[in-house]
Structure formats: structure tokens, C-alpha cells
A and B are shown apart, each in its own frame.
Chain A
Amino acid sequence: MHYDLIVIGMGLTGLMAAKTAAEAEQKVLIVGKGIGSLYLFSNTIDLLGSLPIRKKAGEGLSQWIKDHPKHPYSKTGPEKIEEALSSFLSLFPPPYSFQSVGEGNCLIPTGAGTFRPTYFIPMTMLGGTSINEGHTLIVGFKGFKDFYAHYVADQLKCRGAALTLPDFPDQEMTATALARLMEKKSFRENIGREIKKQLHHETQVGFPALLGMRNPIQVKEDLEEILSANVFEIPILPPSIPGIRIFNRFKEWLIQKGVTFLPGYSVSKPIIKGKRCEGIEMSHPPVITSYSADRYILATGRLMGGGLVASDERIYEPIFSLPVTQPGSREDWFGKSFFNNLPHPVHEAGILTDSSFRPKNENGNPILENVWAAGSILAHHHCIDEKSREGIEIATGYWAAKSAIGR
């Protein structure tokens, strides 16, 4: 099968790239090893969480880009980042829309009972940005081991309550099972009435982020009506229900647009002729299937998803064998102290690209004419420390696709 564009990787970067190309009426194939990282991580959209709270994002970002000329953000600049973010937001019309609070970062509570800065949050998390300590109840469920309401509440100086689930006493529950139950009106009404009994004078109730998969706003509003209190979601451990909501929305949209959506199997080999990629082979034993395209976007992520692989000696990129900029030797990967304030050098490793996101060699020339790279696989960012993961994914996924289809 031949396509205009093949996107390799099904995380937020790949999905943004596929969306951007599909909007330009391109014939697109998106392939993923597994199903991408949205099932695990992204609850909210980080842009640059390391900026001071209340600092205007646009200003902060401009200055920050000036100070970090090698960073992926510096390849686009603030205006283009904003354009990419708008494209993301357009996929999420109300009720389950994303928004920033004020003009900069906001702080939301986490399942560890800490606060973390982030930029766009879904409407279900809005209440968490203004926790009124004495007036907030944090609710968990007995049998659900990924969220401990009393622990979280202690950290946040609120009150906690752990509910026994009426139909499932003494049984272990998963986040997806609970999210599914929440979609059932009778279940959430029971939960609501039970919490109502335990409510003292609280005006806010925080839940782990599992208030339904498909229609969380309806779940939130129904609970609010029963409780006469504001309800909000708190991001928790993987799997991430809010991440799955993002994934499902992209998937639904892409399939409707005619994009071929191929989760599951990894690229076993690229077919390279000279300076061009002519095709990819996907291995699903015992069958190998070939696909070809005019252009390719590499959005395979970092070490966890296998976009980069670490051997004993060095870090390498397994599909195209692209050069990976990295510390000189393994001894230099980590700082002296693990919990240092400075990020470990190994996290800056990644693929170097030109300004249009084509991987480049040490002379600055593109390695392959028709391959672009985007997302966290790029070099010179510290997305964990900077709290910039989704921003990088959205901005570079969008602009790599724009560059690719513009040629």
C-alpha cells in the first residue's frame, strides 16, 4: 500500500502529525508499537511547567526560547507553538474541552497529594486549581489501590473519605472498571448519595480522575447536583483515563477522516535507497508487510516506548539508525547525585534536526530527504524537568507534518 505520509508512532506527537496531514487531505497511515503513550501519561497539557506561576505563558516562553536556542521549541518560536496548540484544542469542543487558567500555568493536585504546574487542563480538573483546604473532601474507593484518599487529603490539608463500593465489597477494582461504572447513572447516583451522607460542610469534592470515559462532564454535573458541591478530578497513576479520552478522540476523528490506523506492531526495517526512505516493513510473525509513502514522520518517543534504545555503551535509534546526540560515555549519563536539582545529562540525548525537523548529520545536512522527526525523541529538552512533554509533542508533531507536506 502506498500513502502520501506514514507516521511512525502513536503517541500525542504522531496523532498530531496524522491529524495535521489528514486536514491537508493527505492519504495517511499511522503505525504504532503497542498503542502509544497516551494510555499512560498525559492527563493535562504541559507547555512549560517550570515557568513561574502567574507568569504570562507567551512572554515566559519567548524569553525561555532565547535562553535555550537548541531546544525543540526554538525551532518553531512562540507563535507557531500557539498555532499548534490551537489545532489541538479544536479537536476538543465543549463539553470536554481544555483551557488554561489565567494566562499562565496553574497548579493542580495529584494522586501523590502534591501540586504540579500545568498549562491546559480538561474542564473536569478546573475545581482542583482552587482548593479551599477546609472546604474540600477527597474521595477514594476501597479496593482501588491506585488512589489513597486519606493520604492525598492529609497532604492537601483536606478531609479524606474512602467509600465501600456497594456491589463490589472487598474486591479489587481497576481504573477502567471504575470509569465504566461511573458512566452508569444508577451507579454514580448511589456513589453521590453515599458521599452526601459523609459530607460535612465541604463545598468541593475531589475524585481520582476516572469520572467516566466518554462523557465525564455529564458524570461531574450529575454528582454536583446530588452533592450540591463542586466536583473535580485528580490525575492518578497509569493507566490515565484522561489520556485515553484524548487518544480515543484522535482515533475516532482520524478513522472518520479516512486515515489508516494501525496499532500493534513495530517497524522491523526501513527500505532506504540513497538519501530516501522508500518504504517500511512491519513484522507480525510470520508475516512481514511493506508500506510505502512519499514522506515519513518518526515520532517513536524516547526510551520507554522504544524510540531510543540504550545498550551498555550508548543510546541508539533503532529504525533508521539516526545519529543520537548524547554524553560522551556511559559514565557521563547521570549526575553525581540521583536526586540532584540539575537534570541528568542522559535526558538531553536525542535526534538533532534542522529547522524543518529533518534529522541532520554533523555537517547540518539532512540525512534522509523525506524523513522528519518529532516529539520527545528530539534532542536538547528535559521534558520531565521542564514539564513540557505535551507542548513539545503537539508543537513539533504539528510542524513536522506541516514541513513534510509542504515539500
Chain B
Amino acid sequence: MMKSHWPKNNPDVCIRCATCMAVCPVSRVSPQFPGPKQAGPGAERFRSPDEPSVDKWIDLCIGCHLCDMVCSSGVNISELNLIAKAKYLDEKGRPLRDWLLTHSYLYGWLGSLLSSLGNPILTNRFIRWMIEAVLKIDRRRELPSYESPTFRQWFKERHSKGTKKVAYFYGCYTNTNEVDVGKATVQVLEANGFEVILPPQRCCGIPMLGNGDFRGARKMGLYNVPSLLKTIRSGFDIIFSSSSCGHTIKHEYSRMLSIPGAEEVAKHFFDIFEFLRNLKESNGLNARFNELPLKAAYFAPCHLRVLGMGLPALEILRLIPGLKIENIEADCCGMGGTFGFKKEKYEISQEIGKDLAEAIDRLKPEIVLSDCEGCRMQIRHLTGLKVLHPIQILRDSLTR
């Protein structure tokens, strides 16, 4: 805990209107969580740094930020929850499981190297039973499989060329688990005339932050920001393709983690589709799309919504001829990053996800698109459908 770094947040401006209660995905499905109004500004009045935490339900806040977004009084409710969660977990102690779930960046390379051996092991039913018994990671949740070579290794062989230059923050999951998202992002940027560079980078820290481990998350930020700043000061904008990494670096680094220089990074840090939309606005978008006859449904992740830029992926994908794309009207997939892996939270994660699965089922798509790896994992898990990042579809229509 680093109390000197807590941002200022005045819970007393809450007017108790209950709008947040109407959007909270967790209290919608589980009476165990009292909802943002009570858990945030309500309980905050009774919290004291010197007294032990009694918020045994605070760990159920999924960290979607939807409550912050809908609050007309500007209370950062999820921030109050996160600080209370950190205190609660600091006092209660964190299981080894949480450390493993939040430090995949340390062993991702190994997972990739040993993927042909490791992937089958991670789907073995006995192994999964063991993992559940020992680590309390729910055996019904598929563990992400690893890919080889990694995105970084693939990129090393590529000689990116273009008349303009842009940098790319790809994120851990793209590097070792969904390499094609990174490839697609690079290919689309190149098709728009950009040479892509990769600044030195590590995990953005969101898994740790979401689990109330501020120290761990801050360590990541203190590594990433100087590296990204160096890139920015050499004249590059930086693109991200994972909405959760993007939200963390763009907004949490400065406000929650007080990383020096984070504010300057934020101003040059763009979602890939936000970047493409800006190109379109200045008539610089390569829009030579081939026809792509496909029925797709798009789901906007919570962390993309709270970035406050609308739904740029939907706007760009609508330009592809033949592609029928509809927005999925549902809030929160229920995965919550590491939340959905935890045995004690798996049922809640599934209940939240059911609403999304039903909304998808009504649209009957051939394919589902979403900008967040957590959402994609959950939608595959819930529906069995093919789920991609929207940039992969855009790449397909450009290179077909």
C-alpha cells in the first residue's frame, strides 16, 4: 500500500441516485455484492485506514468501471472499491493462485517455448482437477493456450516499411497467446503506409492492479513509461490493440499509480481503431477493402467503453463491403481478466456472461469480434463461436 499516492476522490458528492446500481454487472446477478452505491461511496464513509477492513464482499467488484462512466456526479466508484479491495487483501493475504494469475508475463515466454508440450497438459482433465484442488482455478474455465513463435519473434523477421512511422504496444496476450492479433495490427498499419516499431515493453500491470496489488502494477508502469516516453519524444505515436492494456496505461498510470510522465504518454497513446478513424477523418485511410461476405457481431469491452471514444471499430468495419456487422447490446462479458478464472467467482462470471451469450444468440452471427482478450476468451467459452479481434477482420479484407 502506498497511501501517499491515492488520488483524491470525494464520495460525499454522490447523490444516491442509483444509476450505478442499474449498470453494475455483479450486483445484477449476485446479491452477495451490494452494488457500487453501497460498496463505493456508501461504505467509504465508514472506512478508516487505522481499522481493519470488514468489506468481505469488496473482492467481488469486477473492475469494469461502468459505474464510474454512468455517474453524473463524477464519483470514481470503482477506484474507491479498488483501494478498499487492496486493503482487504493486504490484511487477509493473497493466495499463490493470485500471484500466478497476475504474473503470466514472467512465464509467458516459457509457455510459448514449450507450447506443444504444455498446451495438451493444460487441457488434461486430471491436471485441471489438480489445479482446481490446489490453486482454486476453476476447472471449467479453459486456460489460455500458448503459441510459438511469439509475436516479438515473428516481428524480428519482418522488415516493416512505410513512409510514416508509428509504435505499437502489443501486450502480453498478443505476444504469447494470440499472435495473429499483433500480426494483423502490424499488417493493417503497413497497408496504411506506416512503418511499425516496437518499443521495449512489459506487462501493463492490469492483472496486478485489478487484484489490488498496487506495488506490482506500479513496477510495471515505472518500466513502461520511460520506454514509451522515449519513443514519443522521438516523434512517434503509440498504438495499442488491447483495450484493457490501453485503458490502464492511458488513464490508470497517472491517476491510480502516479507514474511520472504518464500524462504525456496518455496524449500520444491510441486505440488502433481510434487511430484508423482519425486517418479516415483526414482522408488518409486505406479503404481499398475487398468484399467480405460474413455475418459478424461486435461486442464493445467495458474498458473500451470507458476510454470514452465511442465505438471506432464498428465505424471502420462498417466500411467493408459485404460484411454485415451488428452491435451486441449487452453490458460486460463477466470475465473481468483474472476474475473469471477464480473458483469462488466462476459462477458469478458465468451468470454475467449468460446475458451476453443470449444477446449474441439473438443475432445469430457466424463470427464475434471484440477488442479485449478477456472478452474473447469468455465469448468462446460461452458460445463456442469463432471470436476474433476486429483488426483481424479488417486485415482479411485488405489482403484478400
Question: Which one of A255, A282, A284, A306 lies within 8 Å of B314 (CB-CB)?
Answer: A255
Contact A263 B70 (CB under 8 A): yes
Binds B, one of A89-97, A130-138, A171-179: A171-179
Given the contacts A248-B329, A286-B266, A306-B72, A39 and B31 also touching, CB distance less than 8 Å:
no
Question: Which one of B21, B29, B250 lies within 8 Å of A239 (CB-CB)?
Answer: B21
Contact B329 A284 (CB under 8 A): no
Contact B72 A305 (CB under 8 A): yes
Q: Which of B5-30 contact A (CB under 8 A)?
A: 15, 17-19, 21-24, 27-29
On B, residues with C-beta under 8 Å from A are 15, 17-19, 21-24, 27-29, 31, 34-35, 68-74, 250-251, 254-255, 262-263, 266-267, 277-278, 281, 305-311, 314-315, 318, 326-327, 329, 355
A240 to chain B: closest residue by CB: B22
What are 19 sample pairs from A and B whose C-beta atoms fall under 8 A apart?
A2-B281, A29-B310, A173-B31, A174-B28, A176-B28, A177-B28, A238-B18, A238-B19, A244-B22, A251-B329, A260-B311, A261-B311, A262-B308, A262-B310, A263-B69, A263-B305, A286-B262, A289-B308, A289-B309
Binary contact readout A307-339 vs B (1 if CB under 8 angstroms, 0 otherwise): 000000000000000000000000000000000
Contacts of B311 in A (CB 8 A): 255, 260-261
Contacts of A71 in B (CB 8 A): none
Binary contact readout A12-40 vs B (1 if CB under 8 angstroms, 0 otherwise): 00000000000000000100011100011
**How far is B18's CA from A66's CA once the two chains are assembled, in angstroms?**
39
**How far is B267's CA from A230's CA once the two chains are assembled, in angstroms?**
58
Contacts of B263 in A (CB 8 A): 286
Given the contacts A174-B27, A282-B308, A289-B309, A264 and B255 also touching, CB distance less than 8 Å:
no
**How far is B329's CA from A256's CA once the two chains are assembled, in angstroms?**
11
Contacts of A251 in B (CB 8 A): 329
Contact A264 B27 (CB under 8 A): no
Question: Which one of A1, A39, A239, A265 lies within 8 Å of B277 (CB-CB)?
Answer: A1
Given the contacts A177-B28, A244-B22, A255 and B327 also touching, CB distance less than 8 Å:
yes
Contact B19 A40 (CB under 8 A): yes
On A, residues with C-beta under 8 Å from B are 1-2, 29, 33-35, 39-40, 143, 168, 171-177, 180, 237-239, 244, 248, 251-252, 255-256, 258, 260-266, 282, 284-287, 289, 304-306
**How far is B18's CA from A228's CA once the two chains are assembled, in angstroms?**
35
Of A35, A173, A262, A282, most B-chain CB atoms within 10 Å: A35
Contact B22 A175 (CB under 8 A): yes
Contacts of B21 in A (CB 8 A): 174-176, 239
Contact A171 B19 (CB under 8 A): no
Contacts of A286 in B (CB 8 A): 251, 254-255, 262-263, 266-267
A177 to chain B: closest residue by CB: B28
A306 to chain B: closest residue by CB: B72
Contact B251 A284 (CB under 8 A): yes
Given the contacts A252-B329, A286-B262, A171 and B31 also touching, CB distance less than 8 Å:
yes
Given the contacts A34-B19, A261-B310, A304-B15, A1 and B254 also touching, CB distance less than 8 Å:
no
**How far is B308's CA from A175's CA once the two chains are assembled, in angstroms?**
27
**How far is B27's CA from A396's CA once the two chains are assembled, in angstroms?**
36
Contacts of A168 in B (CB 8 A): 31
Contact B308 A284 (CB under 8 A): yes
Contact A285 B255 (CB under 8 A): yes
Contact A239 B308 (CB under 8 A): no
B355 to chain A: closest residue by CB: A180
**How far is B87's CA from A368's CA once the two chains are assembled, in angstroms?**
51
Contacts of B250 in A (CB 8 A): 287
**How far is B14's CA from A304's CA once the two chains are assembled, in angstroms?**
11
Contacts of A172 in B (CB 8 A): 31, 34
Minimum distance in angstroms from A165 CB to a CB of chain B: 9
Knowing that A34-B19, A238-B17 are A-B contacts, what are 11 other residue pairs whose CB atoms are under 8 Å apart, sorted by A's residue number?
Answer: A180-B28, A237-B18, A262-B309, A264-B68, A284-B307, A284-B308, A285-B255, A286-B263, A286-B266, A287-B267, A289-B309
**How far is B327's CA from A358's CA once the two chains are assembled, in angstroms?**
35
Contacts of A306 in B (CB 8 A): 72
B65 to chain A: closest residue by CB: A264
Minimum distance in angstroms from B55 CB to a CB of chain A: 16
Given the contacts A39-B22, A244-B22, A248-B329, A260 and B71 also touching, CB distance less than 8 Å:
no
A288 to chain B: closest residue by CB: B267
Contacts of A237 in B (CB 8 A): 18
Minimum distance in angstroms from A252 CB to a CB of chain B: 5
Minimum distance in angstroms from A229 CB to a CB of chain B: 29
Minimum distance in angstroms from A172 CB to a CB of chain B: 6
Minimum distance in angstroms from B96 CB to a CB of chain A: 32
Contact A264 B267 (CB under 8 A): no
Minimum distance in angstroms from A284 CB to a CB of chain B: 5
Contact A177 B281 (CB under 8 A): no
Contact A264 B306 (CB under 8 A): yes
Contact B309 A174 (CB under 8 A): no
Contacts of A29 in B (CB 8 A): 310
**How far is B27's CA from A244's CA once the two chains are assembled, in angstroms?**
17
Contacts of B255 in A (CB 8 A): 285-286
Minimum distance in angstroms from B1 CB to a CB of chain A: 23
Contact B29 A177 (CB under 8 A): yes
Contacts of A284 in B (CB 8 A): 251, 307-308
Contact A177 B31 (CB under 8 A): yes
**How far is B285's CA from A283's CA once the two chains are assembled, in angstroms?**
27
Minimum distance in angstroms from A61 CB to a CB of chain B: 31
Contacts of B278 in A (CB 8 A): 1
Contacts of A287 in B (CB 8 A): 250-251, 266-267
**How far is B314's CA from A164's CA once the two chains are assembled, in angstroms?**
44
Contacts of B68 in A (CB 8 A): 264
Contact B69 A264 (CB under 8 A): yes
